[in-house]
Chains A and B, each alone.
Chain A
Amino acid sequence: MSMVGIDAGEAYLCLAQWSVRGNLRTWRAMEVALAGGSADPGGSARRIRAAAKAADILGGPAVCAICTPKVDVFPLTLRAVASESLDEQVAVQAVDRLNCSPTEVVLDYARLPVEMTRDGEHGVSVLVFAVPRALAEGLLRALDRAGFEVERLMTPACALAAALARSDPGERYVVVFPAHEATSISVVEAGHVLLERILPWSVRGLVGHMHSELDLEEEQCRRLLFQESALAGAAIEPLAAEAPSTRGSLEGALREILGPFFQDLSREVAGCVGYSDSFLRRAQIAGIVLTGPMAGNALLREFVAKASDLPLIELEGRAGLPRRGECGADFACTPAASCALWPQEGRS
Protein backbone atom coordinates (compact mmCIF):
# COMPACT_ATOMS: atom_id res chain seq x y z
CA MET A 1 0.00 0.00 0.00
CA SER A 2 1.27 3.44 -0.86
CA MET A 3 0.98 6.53 1.25
CA VAL A 4 -2.31 8.35 0.94
CA GLY A 5 -2.61 11.31 -1.40
CA ILE A 6 -5.15 13.94 -0.46
CA ASP A 7 -6.65 16.74 -2.49
CA ALA A 8 -8.43 18.96 -0.01
CA GLY A 9 -10.58 22.04 0.14
CA GLU A 10 -12.41 23.55 3.07
CA ALA A 11 -15.44 21.31 2.68
CA TYR A 12 -14.22 18.73 0.20
CA LEU A 13 -11.69 15.94 0.28
CA CYS A 14 -10.42 13.43 -2.25
CA LEU A 15 -8.25 10.53 -1.05
CA ALA A 16 -6.21 8.26 -3.32
CA GLN A 17 -4.01 5.28 -2.61
CA TRP A 18 -2.36 2.72 -4.85
CA SER A 19 -1.04 -0.78 -4.52
CA VAL A 20 0.89 -3.01 -6.88
CA ARG A 21 -0.08 -6.57 -7.75
CA GLY A 22 2.39 -8.12 -10.09
CA ASN A 23 3.15 -5.35 -12.55
CA LEU A 24 -0.24 -3.76 -12.29
CA ARG A 25 -0.79 -0.62 -10.23
CA THR A 26 -4.30 -0.48 -8.80
CA TRP A 27 -5.80 2.76 -7.59
CA ARG A 28 -8.41 3.28 -4.90
CA ALA A 29 -9.93 6.71 -4.43
CA MET A 30 -12.89 8.35 -2.81
CA GLU A 31 -14.27 11.81 -2.36
CA VAL A 32 -16.16 13.11 0.63
CA ALA A 33 -17.97 16.34 1.38
CA LEU A 34 -17.16 17.80 4.80
CA ALA A 35 -20.28 19.59 5.98
CA GLY A 36 -18.70 21.22 9.03
CA GLY A 37 -15.42 22.01 7.31
CA SER A 38 -12.49 22.90 9.53
CA ALA A 39 -14.84 24.06 12.30
CA ASP A 40 -15.90 20.48 13.13
CA PRO A 41 -12.82 18.23 13.01
CA GLY A 42 -14.62 15.45 14.91
CA GLY A 43 -17.52 15.22 12.46
CA SER A 44 -15.22 15.55 9.48
CA ALA A 45 -12.97 12.79 10.87
CA ARG A 46 -15.96 10.44 11.19
CA ARG A 47 -17.02 11.10 7.59
CA ILE A 48 -13.48 10.65 6.27
CA ARG A 49 -12.99 7.41 8.24
CA ALA A 50 -16.29 5.99 7.00
CA ALA A 51 -15.62 6.95 3.37
CA ALA A 52 -12.05 5.61 3.48
CA LYS A 53 -13.27 2.34 4.95
CA ALA A 54 -15.88 2.03 2.19
CA ALA A 55 -13.21 2.64 -0.47
CA ASP A 56 -10.77 0.23 1.24
CA ILE A 57 -8.21 2.99 1.79
CA LEU A 58 -5.93 2.31 4.72
CA GLY A 59 -4.86 5.05 7.11
CA GLY A 60 -1.23 6.04 7.52
CA PRO A 61 1.18 8.68 6.32
CA ALA A 62 -0.25 11.11 3.78
CA VAL A 63 0.65 14.02 1.56
CA CYS A 64 -1.99 16.68 1.12
CA ALA A 65 -2.52 19.39 -1.49
CA ILE A 66 -4.88 22.12 -0.38
CA CYS A 67 -6.74 24.19 -2.96
CA THR A 68 -8.98 26.95 -1.69
CA PRO A 69 -9.08 30.65 -2.54
CA LYS A 70 -7.78 31.31 0.98
CA VAL A 71 -4.39 29.90 0.02
CA ASP A 72 -2.17 32.71 -1.13
CA VAL A 73 0.80 32.21 -3.45
CA PHE A 74 3.00 35.10 -4.52
CA PRO A 75 6.54 35.64 -5.79
CA LEU A 76 9.08 37.78 -3.97
CA THR A 77 12.39 39.11 -5.22
CA LEU A 78 14.94 39.45 -2.47
CA ARG A 79 18.30 41.09 -2.51
CA ALA A 80 21.17 38.74 -1.99
CA VAL A 81 22.34 40.20 1.34
CA ALA A 82 24.79 38.08 3.27
CA SER A 83 23.93 39.59 6.65
CA GLU A 84 20.28 38.57 6.52
CA SER A 85 19.08 35.05 5.98
CA LEU A 86 16.53 34.24 3.32
CA ASP A 87 14.04 33.16 6.00
CA GLU A 88 14.26 36.55 7.70
CA GLN A 89 13.90 38.45 4.42
CA VAL A 90 10.87 36.39 3.41
CA ALA A 91 9.26 36.86 6.83
CA VAL A 92 9.75 40.64 6.63
CA GLN A 93 8.70 41.13 3.01
CA ALA A 94 5.77 38.71 3.04
CA VAL A 95 4.03 40.81 5.68
CA ASP A 96 3.40 43.54 3.11
CA ARG A 97 1.76 41.06 0.73
CA LEU A 98 -0.51 39.33 3.24
CA ASN A 99 -4.07 40.44 3.85
CA CYS A 100 -3.92 39.37 7.50
CA SER A 101 -1.59 39.16 10.45
CA PRO A 102 1.46 36.91 9.89
CA THR A 103 0.47 34.95 12.99
CA GLU A 104 -2.78 33.91 11.30
CA VAL A 105 -1.06 32.14 8.42
CA VAL A 106 1.47 29.38 7.94
CA LEU A 107 4.20 30.47 5.52
CA ASP A 108 6.70 28.55 3.49
CA TYR A 109 8.65 29.41 0.39
CA ALA A 110 10.56 27.78 -2.41
CA ARG A 111 13.52 29.34 -4.16
CA LEU A 112 12.87 29.74 -7.86
CA PRO A 113 15.45 28.40 -10.30
CA VAL A 114 15.72 31.74 -12.10
CA GLU A 115 18.39 34.41 -12.01
CA MET A 116 17.21 37.95 -11.30
CA THR A 117 19.12 41.16 -11.79
CA ARG A 118 17.48 44.51 -11.08
CA ASP A 119 19.24 47.86 -11.12
CA GLY A 120 22.54 46.08 -11.28
CA GLU A 121 21.85 44.13 -8.08
CA HIS A 122 21.70 40.41 -8.09
CA GLY A 123 18.47 39.12 -6.59
CA VAL A 124 16.95 35.89 -5.43
CA SER A 125 13.42 34.94 -6.43
CA VAL A 126 11.22 32.91 -4.16
CA LEU A 127 7.64 31.76 -4.38
CA VAL A 128 5.85 32.23 -1.07
CA PHE A 129 2.95 29.99 -0.08
CA ALA A 130 0.59 31.03 2.73
CA VAL A 131 -2.33 29.09 4.14
CA PRO A 132 -4.61 30.33 6.94
CA ARG A 133 -3.46 28.72 10.19
CA ALA A 134 -6.99 27.91 11.40
CA LEU A 135 -7.86 26.23 8.09
CA ALA A 136 -4.69 24.11 8.07
CA GLU A 137 -5.04 23.15 11.73
CA GLY A 138 -8.73 22.18 11.37
CA LEU A 139 -8.05 20.09 8.26
CA LEU A 140 -5.00 18.37 9.72
CA ARG A 141 -6.74 17.64 13.03
CA ALA A 142 -9.65 16.05 11.19
CA LEU A 143 -7.28 13.96 9.08
CA ASP A 144 -5.20 13.03 12.14
CA ARG A 145 -8.31 11.82 13.93
CA ALA A 146 -9.35 9.87 10.86
CA GLY A 147 -5.98 8.07 10.92
CA PHE A 148 -4.21 9.97 8.15
CA GLU A 149 -1.04 11.64 9.37
CA VAL A 150 -0.24 14.32 6.84
CA GLU A 151 3.53 14.61 6.52
CA ARG A 152 3.47 17.36 3.93
CA LEU A 153 0.92 20.06 3.20
CA MET A 154 1.33 21.94 -0.08
CA THR A 155 -0.56 23.33 -3.03
CA PRO A 156 -1.79 21.26 -6.00
CA ALA A 157 0.83 22.77 -8.31
CA CYS A 158 3.67 21.29 -6.21
CA ALA A 159 2.21 17.78 -6.47
CA LEU A 160 1.36 18.11 -10.18
CA ALA A 161 4.79 19.57 -10.99
CA ALA A 162 6.46 16.54 -9.39
CA ALA A 163 4.20 14.20 -11.39
CA LEU A 164 4.95 16.04 -14.66
CA ALA A 165 8.67 15.98 -13.92
CA ARG A 166 8.51 12.19 -13.80
CA SER A 167 6.90 11.94 -17.25
CA ASP A 168 8.52 14.89 -19.03
CA PRO A 169 11.54 16.19 -17.16
CA GLY A 170 12.80 19.58 -18.29
CA GLU A 171 9.65 20.69 -20.10
CA ARG A 172 7.73 23.77 -19.06
CA TYR A 173 3.95 23.51 -18.73
CA VAL A 174 1.04 25.62 -17.72
CA VAL A 175 -1.11 23.47 -15.42
CA VAL A 176 -4.80 24.29 -15.04
CA PHE A 177 -6.63 22.52 -12.23
CA PRO A 178 -10.24 23.62 -11.76
CA ALA A 179 -10.95 22.12 -8.32
CA HIS A 180 -14.10 21.96 -6.23
CA GLU A 181 -13.45 25.16 -4.33
CA ALA A 182 -10.89 27.03 -6.43
CA THR A 183 -8.89 26.87 -9.62
CA SER A 184 -5.15 26.53 -9.52
CA ILE A 185 -3.24 27.81 -12.54
CA SER A 186 0.49 27.31 -12.44
CA VAL A 187 3.63 27.35 -14.53
CA VAL A 188 5.84 24.38 -13.74
CA GLU A 189 9.20 23.20 -15.04
CA ALA A 190 11.31 20.21 -14.08
CA GLY A 191 9.33 19.71 -10.88
CA HIS A 192 9.60 23.36 -9.85
CA VAL A 193 6.59 25.58 -9.49
CA LEU A 194 7.55 28.87 -11.11
CA LEU A 195 4.18 30.52 -10.59
CA GLU A 196 0.88 29.55 -9.06
CA ARG A 197 -2.37 31.42 -8.87
CA ILE A 198 -5.28 30.06 -6.87
CA LEU A 199 -8.46 31.76 -8.07
CA PRO A 200 -11.98 31.56 -6.68
CA TRP A 201 -13.55 29.89 -9.72
CA SER A 202 -14.71 26.54 -8.55
CA VAL A 203 -16.60 23.48 -9.74
CA ARG A 204 -18.98 24.00 -6.85
CA GLY A 205 -19.63 27.58 -7.95
CA LEU A 206 -20.22 26.53 -11.57
CA VAL A 207 -22.58 23.73 -10.52
CA GLY A 208 -24.50 26.17 -8.36
CA HIS A 209 -24.70 28.64 -11.20
CA MET A 210 -25.88 25.98 -13.66
CA HIS A 211 -28.43 24.72 -11.13
CA SER A 212 -29.86 28.21 -10.75
CA GLU A 213 -29.96 28.87 -14.49
CA LEU A 214 -31.04 25.45 -15.82
CA ASP A 215 -33.92 23.31 -14.71
CA LEU A 216 -31.61 20.46 -13.67
CA GLU A 217 -30.62 18.75 -10.45
CA GLU A 218 -27.17 19.55 -9.01
CA GLU A 219 -26.01 16.01 -9.70
CA GLN A 220 -27.00 16.38 -13.36
CA CYS A 221 -25.16 19.71 -13.53
CA ARG A 222 -22.04 18.04 -12.10
CA ARG A 223 -22.20 15.32 -14.72
CA LEU A 224 -22.69 17.86 -17.48
CA LEU A 225 -19.64 19.71 -16.29
CA PHE A 226 -17.47 16.59 -15.95
CA GLN A 227 -18.41 14.93 -19.27
CA GLU A 228 -16.49 15.46 -22.47
CA SER A 229 -19.57 16.30 -24.50
CA ALA A 230 -22.42 18.26 -23.08
CA LEU A 231 -24.94 15.79 -24.42
CA ALA A 232 -23.18 12.52 -23.71
CA GLY A 233 -24.04 10.03 -21.02
CA ALA A 234 -26.96 9.30 -18.83
CA ALA A 235 -26.92 12.53 -16.88
CA ILE A 236 -29.21 14.28 -19.27
CA GLU A 237 -30.94 11.36 -20.94
CA PRO A 238 -34.39 12.93 -20.72
CA LEU A 239 -33.06 16.01 -22.50
CA ALA A 240 -30.92 14.11 -24.98
CA ALA A 241 -33.87 12.10 -26.10
CA GLU A 242 -35.75 15.19 -27.11
CA ALA A 243 -35.68 16.97 -30.45
CA PRO A 244 -32.37 18.23 -31.94
CA SER A 245 -33.61 21.76 -31.48
CA THR A 246 -33.80 21.18 -27.70
CA ARG A 247 -30.27 19.72 -27.65
CA GLY A 248 -29.06 22.68 -29.61
CA SER A 249 -30.70 25.05 -27.18
CA LEU A 250 -29.03 23.20 -24.22
CA GLU A 251 -25.61 23.54 -25.83
CA GLY A 252 -26.30 27.19 -26.40
CA ALA A 253 -27.47 27.63 -22.85
CA LEU A 254 -24.36 25.95 -21.45
CA ARG A 255 -22.13 28.10 -23.63
CA GLU A 256 -24.01 31.14 -22.42
CA ILE A 257 -23.78 30.13 -18.75
CA LEU A 258 -20.24 28.72 -18.62
CA GLY A 259 -18.70 30.81 -21.38
CA PRO A 260 -17.94 33.91 -19.29
CA PHE A 261 -16.27 31.81 -16.58
CA PHE A 262 -14.22 29.89 -19.08
CA GLN A 263 -13.38 33.13 -20.86
CA ASP A 264 -11.98 34.63 -17.63
CA LEU A 265 -10.13 31.43 -16.86
CA SER A 266 -8.63 31.41 -20.35
CA ARG A 267 -7.45 35.00 -19.89
CA GLU A 268 -5.71 33.99 -16.67
CA VAL A 269 -4.07 31.10 -18.50
CA ALA A 270 -2.94 33.49 -21.23
CA GLY A 271 -1.63 35.85 -18.53
CA CYS A 272 0.41 33.06 -16.99
CA VAL A 273 1.82 32.19 -20.39
CA GLY A 274 2.75 35.87 -20.88
CA TYR A 275 4.35 35.98 -17.37
CA SER A 276 6.33 32.89 -18.22
CA ASP A 277 7.57 34.46 -21.45
CA SER A 278 8.47 37.84 -19.98
CA PHE A 279 9.44 37.50 -16.35
CA LEU A 280 10.90 34.04 -16.06
CA ARG A 281 13.87 32.61 -17.85
CA ARG A 282 12.78 32.32 -21.48
CA ALA A 283 11.76 28.81 -22.41
CA GLN A 284 9.22 27.28 -24.71
CA ILE A 285 6.01 26.15 -23.01
CA ALA A 286 5.39 22.57 -24.07
CA GLY A 287 1.69 22.72 -23.54
CA ILE A 288 -1.23 23.30 -21.23
CA VAL A 289 -2.09 20.54 -18.86
CA LEU A 290 -5.75 20.51 -17.99
CA THR A 291 -6.52 18.25 -15.06
CA GLY A 292 -9.17 17.70 -12.45
CA PRO A 293 -12.84 16.75 -12.79
CA MET A 294 -13.44 19.22 -15.63
CA ALA A 295 -10.39 18.16 -17.65
CA GLY A 296 -12.55 16.55 -20.30
CA ASN A 297 -15.05 19.37 -20.68
CA ALA A 298 -15.05 20.20 -24.36
CA LEU A 299 -16.12 23.81 -23.86
CA LEU A 300 -13.36 24.50 -21.37
CA ARG A 301 -10.80 22.84 -23.60
CA GLU A 302 -11.99 24.95 -26.52
CA PHE A 303 -11.64 28.21 -24.58
CA VAL A 304 -8.24 27.39 -23.09
CA ALA A 305 -6.79 26.19 -26.39
CA LYS A 306 -8.07 29.28 -28.18
CA ALA A 307 -6.62 31.66 -25.56
CA SER A 308 -3.09 30.32 -25.51
CA ASP A 309 -2.63 28.68 -28.86
CA LEU A 310 -0.77 25.86 -27.14
CA PRO A 311 -1.47 22.11 -27.29
CA LEU A 312 -3.61 20.63 -24.55
CA ILE A 313 -1.89 17.77 -22.76
CA GLU A 314 -3.61 15.13 -20.76
CA LEU A 315 -1.90 14.19 -17.50
CA GLU A 316 -4.18 11.25 -16.68
CA GLY A 317 -2.58 7.88 -17.35
CA ARG A 318 0.97 9.32 -17.46
CA ALA A 319 3.82 8.93 -14.97
CA GLY A 320 1.96 6.24 -13.05
CA LEU A 321 -1.13 8.39 -12.55
CA PRO A 322 -4.58 6.81 -12.94
CA ARG A 323 -6.36 7.03 -16.26
CA ARG A 324 -9.51 9.10 -16.53
CA GLY A 325 -12.38 7.21 -14.91
CA GLU A 326 -10.05 4.82 -13.09
CA CYS A 327 -10.64 6.47 -9.72
CA GLY A 328 -14.37 6.81 -10.14
CA ALA A 329 -16.92 7.53 -12.81
CA ASP A 330 -17.87 10.97 -11.63
CA PHE A 331 -14.76 12.45 -10.09
CA ALA A 332 -11.09 12.93 -10.87
CA CYS A 333 -8.32 12.02 -8.48
CA THR A 334 -5.25 13.14 -10.43
CA PRO A 335 -4.08 15.78 -7.90
CA ALA A 336 -4.65 13.35 -5.00
CA ALA A 337 -2.88 10.60 -6.95
CA SER A 338 0.04 12.97 -7.62
CA CYS A 339 0.29 13.43 -3.85
CA ALA A 340 0.18 9.66 -3.35
CA LEU A 341 3.12 9.36 -5.75
CA TRP A 342 5.09 12.06 -3.93
CA PRO A 343 8.64 10.74 -3.53
CA GLN A 344 9.38 9.69 0.00
CA GLU A 345 12.65 8.40 1.34
CA GLY A 346 12.43 4.77 2.30
CA ARG A 347 9.06 4.28 0.67
CA SER A 348 8.21 2.72 -2.65
Chain B
Amino acid sequence: MTVINLIPGVILEQRASRKCLHRWAGRLIACGVVLAIAYIGIMRVAAGTRSEVQRLSERVEQLQGRFQGAESVIGERDRLATRLAAIASISNAPRTGWYLEQVGTALTPQAYLNYVGFEHCLVAEGKSGSGKKGECESSLVLRGYAPGHGDVGEVLRALKACGAFNEVTLAAVTELPGESSRRDVRFHLECRLAER
Protein backbone atom coordinates (compact mmCIF):
# COMPACT_ATOMS: atom_id res chain seq x y z
CA MET B 1 0.00 0.00 0.00
CA THR B 2 1.27 3.46 -0.83
CA VAL B 3 1.66 5.13 2.53
CA ILE B 4 2.74 8.74 2.43
CA ASN B 5 2.17 11.66 4.73
CA LEU B 6 2.45 15.24 3.52
CA ILE B 7 1.74 16.89 6.85
CA PRO B 8 4.33 19.66 7.36
CA GLY B 9 6.65 19.24 10.30
CA VAL B 10 5.65 22.59 11.74
CA ILE B 11 2.05 21.38 12.10
CA LEU B 12 3.19 18.25 13.91
CA GLU B 13 5.37 20.36 16.20
CA GLN B 14 2.47 22.71 16.91
CA ARG B 15 0.23 19.77 17.73
CA ALA B 16 2.86 18.25 19.98
CA SER B 17 3.36 21.52 21.82
CA ARG B 18 -0.41 22.02 22.04
CA LYS B 19 -0.84 18.53 23.46
CA CYS B 20 1.99 19.22 25.89
CA LEU B 21 0.30 22.48 26.84
CA HIS B 22 -3.04 20.72 27.30
CA ARG B 23 -1.35 18.04 29.37
CA TRP B 24 0.24 20.64 31.61
CA ALA B 25 -2.98 22.62 31.76
CA GLY B 26 -4.74 19.43 32.81
CA ARG B 27 -2.13 18.82 35.47
CA LEU B 28 -2.41 22.41 36.67
CA ILE B 29 -6.18 22.16 36.83
CA ALA B 30 -5.89 18.87 38.73
CA CYS B 31 -3.40 20.47 41.13
CA GLY B 32 -5.70 23.46 41.48
CA VAL B 33 -8.64 21.21 42.29
CA VAL B 34 -6.58 19.27 44.83
CA LEU B 35 -5.34 22.53 46.37
CA ALA B 36 -8.85 23.94 46.45
CA ILE B 37 -10.15 20.79 48.17
CA ALA B 38 -7.21 20.89 50.60
CA TYR B 39 -7.81 24.59 51.21
CA ILE B 40 -11.49 24.01 51.88
CA GLY B 41 -10.62 21.13 54.22
CA ILE B 42 -7.99 23.17 56.04
CA MET B 43 -10.33 26.13 56.30
CA ARG B 44 -13.04 23.92 57.75
CA VAL B 45 -10.59 22.43 60.27
CA ALA B 46 -9.27 25.91 61.01
CA ALA B 47 -12.79 27.20 61.51
CA GLY B 48 -13.48 24.32 63.94
CA THR B 49 -10.20 24.96 65.74
CA ARG B 50 -10.94 28.68 65.88
CA SER B 51 -14.34 28.10 67.39
CA GLU B 52 -12.80 25.64 69.88
CA VAL B 53 -10.12 28.19 70.80
CA GLN B 54 -12.83 30.82 71.15
CA ARG B 55 -14.82 28.52 73.41
CA LEU B 56 -11.75 27.68 75.50
CA SER B 57 -10.71 31.32 75.78
CA GLU B 58 -14.22 32.16 76.97
CA ARG B 59 -13.88 29.41 79.57
CA VAL B 60 -10.46 30.77 80.54
CA GLU B 61 -11.99 34.20 80.96
CA GLN B 62 -14.75 32.68 83.07
CA LEU B 63 -12.16 30.84 85.20
CA GLN B 64 -10.06 33.98 85.51
CA GLY B 65 -13.20 35.76 86.71
CA ARG B 66 -13.75 32.98 89.21
CA PHE B 67 -10.12 33.14 90.33
CA GLN B 68 -10.43 36.88 90.80
CA GLY B 69 -13.59 36.26 92.82
CA ALA B 70 -11.75 33.64 94.86
CA GLU B 71 -8.83 36.00 95.42
CA SER B 72 -11.20 38.68 96.64
CA VAL B 73 -12.79 36.08 98.94
CA ILE B 74 -9.32 35.13 100.24
CA GLY B 75 -8.52 38.81 100.78
CA GLU B 76 -11.80 39.20 102.58
CA ARG B 77 -11.00 36.17 104.71
CA ASP B 78 -7.56 37.58 105.60
CA ARG B 79 -9.13 40.92 106.38
CA LEU B 80 -11.70 39.22 108.60
CA ALA B 81 -8.93 37.18 110.30
CA THR B 82 -7.04 40.39 111.07
CA ARG B 83 -10.19 41.88 112.45
CA LEU B 84 -10.79 38.71 114.49
CA ALA B 85 -7.27 38.93 115.94
CA ALA B 86 -7.84 42.53 116.79
CA ILE B 87 -11.13 41.60 118.45
CA ALA B 88 -9.38 38.79 120.37
CA SER B 89 -6.61 41.06 121.62
CA ILE B 90 -9.22 43.60 122.61
CA SER B 91 -11.15 40.89 124.44
CA ASN B 92 -7.94 39.81 126.24
CA ALA B 93 -7.09 43.30 127.37
CA PRO B 94 -8.79 43.06 130.87
CA ARG B 95 -6.94 39.79 131.59
CA THR B 96 -3.59 41.51 130.98
CA GLY B 97 -4.49 44.02 133.56
CA TRP B 98 -5.40 41.26 135.96
CA TYR B 99 -2.03 39.54 135.41
CA LEU B 100 -0.23 42.81 136.03
CA GLU B 101 -2.24 43.28 139.23
CA GLN B 102 -1.08 39.83 140.40
CA VAL B 103 2.53 40.70 139.57
CA GLY B 104 2.21 43.98 141.49
CA THR B 105 0.86 42.14 144.50
CA ALA B 106 3.71 39.63 144.35
CA LEU B 107 6.49 42.22 144.39
CA THR B 108 8.15 43.02 147.73
CA PRO B 109 8.25 46.67 148.85
CA GLN B 110 11.90 47.11 147.81
CA ALA B 111 11.73 45.19 144.57
CA TYR B 112 10.84 46.94 141.35
CA LEU B 113 10.53 46.11 137.67
CA ASN B 114 12.18 47.87 134.79
CA TYR B 115 10.75 45.63 132.05
CA VAL B 116 7.49 43.75 131.61
CA GLY B 117 7.08 41.74 128.43
CA PHE B 118 3.84 40.13 127.54
CA GLU B 119 4.05 37.50 124.82
CA HIS B 120 0.53 36.80 123.80
CA CYS B 121 -0.24 33.62 121.87
CA LEU B 122 -3.41 34.09 119.84
CA VAL B 123 -3.30 30.61 118.40
CA ALA B 124 -3.23 29.01 121.74
CA GLU B 125 -6.19 30.99 122.86
CA GLY B 126 -8.07 30.65 119.55
CA LYS B 127 -7.56 26.90 119.51
CA SER B 128 -8.30 26.42 123.09
CA GLY B 129 -9.11 22.81 123.81
CA SER B 130 -7.77 21.50 120.48
CA GLY B 131 -4.88 19.61 122.09
CA LYS B 132 -2.13 21.89 120.80
CA LYS B 133 -2.13 24.17 123.74
CA GLY B 134 1.44 23.47 124.82
CA GLU B 135 2.98 24.45 121.53
CA CYS B 136 2.32 28.10 122.01
CA GLU B 137 1.42 29.51 125.39
CA SER B 138 1.22 33.13 126.44
CA SER B 139 3.88 34.23 128.86
CA LEU B 140 5.00 37.17 130.83
CA VAL B 141 8.63 38.22 131.08
CA LEU B 142 9.58 40.26 134.08
CA ARG B 143 12.96 42.01 134.57
CA GLY B 144 13.76 44.14 137.56
CA TYR B 145 15.87 44.84 140.63
CA ALA B 146 15.62 43.74 144.23
CA PRO B 147 17.69 44.57 147.30
CA GLY B 148 18.79 40.96 147.66
CA HIS B 149 18.28 37.33 146.80
CA GLY B 150 15.67 37.01 149.53
CA ASP B 151 13.38 39.48 147.87
CA VAL B 152 13.73 37.65 144.58
CA GLY B 153 12.72 34.40 146.28
CA GLU B 154 9.70 36.05 147.88
CA VAL B 155 8.56 37.44 144.55
CA LEU B 156 8.98 33.98 143.01
CA ARG B 157 6.93 32.32 145.71
CA ALA B 158 4.22 34.97 145.54
CA LEU B 159 3.89 34.62 141.79
CA LYS B 160 3.60 30.86 141.98
CA ALA B 161 1.10 31.15 144.77
CA CYS B 162 -1.19 33.69 143.14
CA GLY B 163 -2.57 31.14 140.63
CA ALA B 164 -2.25 33.42 137.64
CA PHE B 165 0.67 31.49 136.24
CA ASN B 166 1.18 27.83 135.55
CA GLU B 167 4.90 27.94 135.71
CA VAL B 168 7.25 30.60 137.01
CA THR B 169 10.88 30.24 136.09
CA LEU B 170 13.78 32.23 137.37
CA ALA B 171 15.77 32.67 134.22
CA ALA B 172 18.63 34.73 135.67
CA VAL B 173 19.76 36.55 138.84
CA THR B 174 22.75 38.84 138.65
CA GLU B 175 24.37 40.59 141.54
CA LEU B 176 25.13 44.21 140.90
CA PRO B 177 28.62 45.48 141.95
CA GLY B 178 28.77 47.34 145.32
CA GLU B 179 30.54 47.46 148.76
CA SER B 180 27.68 47.00 151.26
CA SER B 181 26.72 43.55 152.57
CA ARG B 182 23.20 43.92 151.29
CA ARG B 183 23.86 43.99 147.61
CA ASP B 184 21.17 44.68 144.93
CA VAL B 185 20.44 41.99 142.38
CA ARG B 186 18.97 42.06 138.93
CA PHE B 187 16.51 39.33 138.18
CA HIS B 188 14.78 37.87 135.12
CA LEU B 189 11.58 35.83 135.47
CA GLU B 190 9.49 34.05 132.90
CA CYS B 191 5.92 33.27 133.83
CA ARG B 192 3.63 31.04 131.74
CA LEU B 193 0.10 32.26 131.96
CA ALA B 194 -2.52 30.01 133.45
CA GLU B 195 -5.87 29.54 131.76
CA ARG B 196 -8.80 31.21 133.29
Binding site for B on A (CB under 8 A): 66, 106-110, 127, 129-131, 133, 136-137, 140-141, 144, 149-155, 157-158, 161-162, 165, 190-193, 343
Contact = CB atoms under 8 A, between A and B. Distances in A.
B1 A152 contact: no
A161 B15 contact: no
B15 A191 contact: no
Interface stretch (B2-10, B51-59, B88-96, B178-186): B2-10
A106 B2 contact: no
Report, nearest first, the 6 A-B pairs whose CB atoms are least far apart.
A191-B1, A108-B4, A193-B2, A153-B6, A110-B2, A131-B6
A113 B108 CA distance: 161
Contact of A110 (B4, B7, B10, B11): B4
17 contacts: A107-B6, A108-B5, A110-B4, A129-B6, A136-B7, A136-B11, A140-B7, A140-B11, A144-B11, A153-B6, A154-B6, A158-B2, A191-B1, A191-B2, A192-B2, A193-B2, A343-B1
A137 B15 contact: no
Contacts of B8: 106, 133, 136-137, 140
B1 A106 contact: no
A153 B8 CA distance: 9
Contacts of B7: 106, 136, 140, 150-153
Most buried by B among A107, A109, A152, A165: A152
Contacts of A129: 4, 6
Contact count band on B: 10 to 19
B5 A192 contact: no
Given A106-B8, A110-B3, A191-B2, 9 more contacts: A109-B4, A110-B4, A131-B6, A136-B7, A136-B8, A140-B8, A155-B4, A157-B2, A162-B2
Nearest to A190: B1
A158 B4 contact: yes
B10 to A, nearest CB: 7
Given A137-B11, A140-B11, A192 B1 contact: yes
Contacts of B3: 110, 158
A136 B6 CA distance: 8
B2 A153 contact: no
B10 A153 contact: no
Contacts of A190: 1
Contacts of B2: 110, 127, 154, 157-158, 161-162, 191-193
A175 to B, nearest CB: 12
A340 to B, nearest CB: 16
